[in-house]
């Protein structure tokens, strides 16, 4: 199998040099929501027994948050830009974060899977064949109670407007083999509206297939189930991003998963509404407006601001607890 180069690799510009990660409110909100969900894994085992594996970039935002709010101390960041090694080492906020340089599909098979793992495959590019290798490594190795998250860019491929240009379907088959594309997908499903769902299905089909293969070798009580928890769609810059993920647990851990009571969190997408993504829309509000709305929340029956649309207020009331605290000052 040939592993396609990602776009960012082709352009030779790592995403952290293209986007200022600290100015991405939707991503910051998603991160906090995920953290709140991870806290419920306590029913599986003490959170400090988990290992967190992610792609930190030079900002280490997820690592800082998870270390500070959950107390995890076993953390591994995978980073492909070996040439910036010094910069990564310098920006590493805590000693407990270990850096592994290389591609995730090389690094993941080499780490230990003896512990429960929270793995966030936070890709900054479009769905591609090499991602299946990472999904495969997690699903075939992870312990019961482990969590997998996968974020991909779901910007549709270019619409062919001249004759001879490749259709969106052809562009998709250049990134992933046709044998991974569901049989009901047609050209019209690859537009802005429907493409995220196609990506969602492709990733889930892969998860299911590898899980079935692993289960083929396990006795009943150890057979693993995948429970989806997350299906986020958000947009900070021009690219819509999709994050899906969930927890794997063995048949004998069914009670534990029930006790986690993930459903209590309104951004959790499992069972019946799992296909319907939770959209993180960040309304552009002033600090004064937000402070005012805060006083009326969580119950949203209080005073409204007549110059704000209902939609803006609703969006804000869904995310206010997770809203990042941006400060526009350099503190000396």
Partner 1 sequence: MSPNNAPSSNVVKGSPSKELFISMLTRDISLIDAISDLVDNCVDGAIKLKGRGKFTGLEVNITLKEDCFIIKDNCSGIDKDLARDNAFRFGRPSEATQIDYSVGQFGIGMKRALFKMGKKFEIRSVSEKASFSIEIDVNKWSKREDDWDFKFKELIEEKFPLGERGTEIIVSSLNPDVSERFKQKNFLSELRTKLELQHLINVSRGLVIKINGYPIESTQLKLLNSNKFKTAYWGKRFKMYGNTYVRIYAGIGEEHLDKGGWYIFCNNRLIQGPEQSIISGWGARTPVRIPKYHGQFSRFRGFVFFESKAPSFLPWNTSKTSVDADSPIFQNVRSEMVRLMRPIINFLNKVHDESAAYLSRILEEKYLQEEIDSATLKDYLHVRTSGSFIAPTPKGLVKKTNEVAIKYIRTEDRVEKLKNFFKVSSPKKVGEKTFDYTYDRECKK
- Site residues, partner 1 (CB under 8 A): 1-2, 177-184, 201, 205-206, 208-209, 212, 216
**Residue 209: CB minimum distance to partner 1, A:** 4
Q: Would you call 69 helix, strand, or coil by DSSP?
A: helix
**Residue 105: CB minimum distance to partner 1, A:** 18
Residue number, 142 or 202, with CB nearest to partner 1 = 202
Residue number, 22 or 205, with CB nearest to partner 1 = 205
Helix ranges (DSSP H) in the chain: 7-11, 25-39, 61-70, 85-91, 104-107, 129-141, 168-175, 195-215, 254-260, 287-296, 310-319
Distances (CA, A) of 1 to 129, 130, 177, 195, 312: 9, 9, 10, 25, 47
**Residue 126: CB minimum distance to partner 1, A:** 19
Residue number, 9 or 297, with CB nearest to partner 1 = 9
- The bridge status of strand 224-235 relative to strand 240-250 is antiparallel
Angle (CA) 290 292 294, round 5°: 70
Residue number, 2 or 325, with CB nearest to partner 1 = 2
**Residue 141: CB minimum distance to partner 1, A:** 20
**Residue 2: CB minimum distance to partner 1, A:** 6
Structural tokens at position 120: 């966030």
Structural tokens at position 244: 């899906």
Residue number, 1 or 329, with CB nearest to partner 1 = 1
Residue pair 82/101 in contact by the 8 Å Cβ criterion? yes
**Angle at which helices 129-141 and 195-215 cross, to 10°:** 40
**Residue 185: CB minimum distance to partner 1, A:** 9
Which phi and psi angles does 70 have, rounded to 5°?
-115, -15
Residue number, 184 or 303, with CB nearest to partner 1 = 184
Residue number, 23 or 213, with CB nearest to partner 1 = 213
**Residue 183: CB minimum distance to partner 1, A:** 5
């Amino acid at each position: 199998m040939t592993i396609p180069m990602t776009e960012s690799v082709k352009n030779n510009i790592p995403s952290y040099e293209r986007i200022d990660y600290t100015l991405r409110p939707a991503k910051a909100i998603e991160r906090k929501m995920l953290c709140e969900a991870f806290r419920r894994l306590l029913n599986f085992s003490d959170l400090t027994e988990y290992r967190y594996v992610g792609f930190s970039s030079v900002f280490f935002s997820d690592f800082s948050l998870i270390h500070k709010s959950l107390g995890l101390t076993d953390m591994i960041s995978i980073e492909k830009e070996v040439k910036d090694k010094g910069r990564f080492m310098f920006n590493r906020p805590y000693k407990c974060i270990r850096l592994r340089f290389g591609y995730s599909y090389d690094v993941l098979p080499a780490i230990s899977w003896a512990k429960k793992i929270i793995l966030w495959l936070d890709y900054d590019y479009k769905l591609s064949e090499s991602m299946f290798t990472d999904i495969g490594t997690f699903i075939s190795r992870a312990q019961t109670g482990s969590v997998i998250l996968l974020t991909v860019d779901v910007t549709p491929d270019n619409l062919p407007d001249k004759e001879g240009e490749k259709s969106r379907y052809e562009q998709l088959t250049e990134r992933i083999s046709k044998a991974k594309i569901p049989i009901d997908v047609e050209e019209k499903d690859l537009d802005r509206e429907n493409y995220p769902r196609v990506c969602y299905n492709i990733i889930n089909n892969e998860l299911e297939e590898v899980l079935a293969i692993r289960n083929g070798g396990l006795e009943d009580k150890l057979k693993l189930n995948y429970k989806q928890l997350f299906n986020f769609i958000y947009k900070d810059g021009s690219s819509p991003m999709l994050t899906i993920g969930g927890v794997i647990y063995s048949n004998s851990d069914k009670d534990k998963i029930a006790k986690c009571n993930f459903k209590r969190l309104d951004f959790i997408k499992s069972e019946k509404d799992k296909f319907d993504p939770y959209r993180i829309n960040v309304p552009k509000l002033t600090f004064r407006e937000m402070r005012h709305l805060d006083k009326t929340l969580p119950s949203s029956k209080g005073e409204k601001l007549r110059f704000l649309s209902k939609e803006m207020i609703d969006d804000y009331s869904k995310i206010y607890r997770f809203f990042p605290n941006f400060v526009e000052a350099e503190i000396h």
